C-alpha cells in the first residue's frame, strides 16, 4: 500500500530533551515536506526537500532540523524542544514539487 508513515504518533516530552520524529514514504517521491498545524493557523511549512541531500527552510524553520540522506526518509529533529513547539506535525511527499501531496497520519507532540 502506497503511504507515508510517521513515528511516533503521540509524544510527550520535556523542555530541552532532543527528539526525532521519523517520516518514511514508499512511493519513490522526490519531494518531501514537514508541516505543523496549530488551531486557527492552518498548516505552516517547516522544511522541505526537493531530493536527496537537498533541503530548504519553509515558513517556520526556527528550532527544527531535517536531513534527507535517503530518498524515502525525511526525519524531523528538535534539538532542544520548547513548549511553543507543542503542535500537530505532518509529513508529506509528492512526485513533484508543487503537485498533490500525500500526507502521513500526523504526530501530536506535547512539550512540557
Partner 1 sequence: AQSVTQLGSHVSVSEGALVLLRCNYSSSVPPYLFWYVQYPNQGLQLLLKYTSAATLVKGINGFEAEFKKSETSFHLTKPSAHMSDAAEYFCAVSDLGSGGGADGLTFGKGTHLIIQP
In terms of residues, how long is the chain? 112
Site string for partner 1, 28-67 (x = CB under 8 A): ---x-x-x----xxxx-x--x-x-----x-x---------
Scan for cell 511549512, then name that residue: 45
**What is the per-residue DSSP string for 70-109?**
SSSB--EEESS--GGG-EEEEEEEESSTTS--EE---EEE
| Residue 89 engages partner 1 in binding (rule: CB under 8 A) | no
Rounded to the nearest whole angstrom, what is the least distance from the CB of residue 111 to partner 1 in the complex? 20
Residues that bind partner 1 (CB under 8 A): 4, 31, 33, 35, 40-43, 45, 48, 50, 56, 58, 90, 92, 94, 96-106
Amino acid at each position: 500500500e502506497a503511504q507515508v508513515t510517521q513515528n511516533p504518533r503521540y509524544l510527550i516530552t520535556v523542555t530541552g530533551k532532543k527528539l526525532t520524529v521519523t517520516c518514511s514514504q514508499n512511493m519513490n517521491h522526490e519531494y518531501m515536506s514537514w508541516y505543523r498545524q496549530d488551531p486557527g493557523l492552518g498548516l505552516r511549512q517547516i522544511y522541505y526537500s526537493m531530493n536527496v541531500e537537498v533541503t530548504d527552510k519553509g515558513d517556520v524553520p526556527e528550532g527544527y532540523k531535517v536531513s534527507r540522506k535517503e530518498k524515502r526518509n525525511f526525519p524531523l529533529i528538535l534539538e532542544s524542544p520548547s513548549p511553543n513547539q507543542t503542535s500537530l506535525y505532518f509529513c508529506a511527499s509528492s512526485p513533484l514539487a508543487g503537485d498533490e501531496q500525500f500526507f502521513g497520519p500526523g504526530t501530536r507532540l506535547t512539550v512540557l
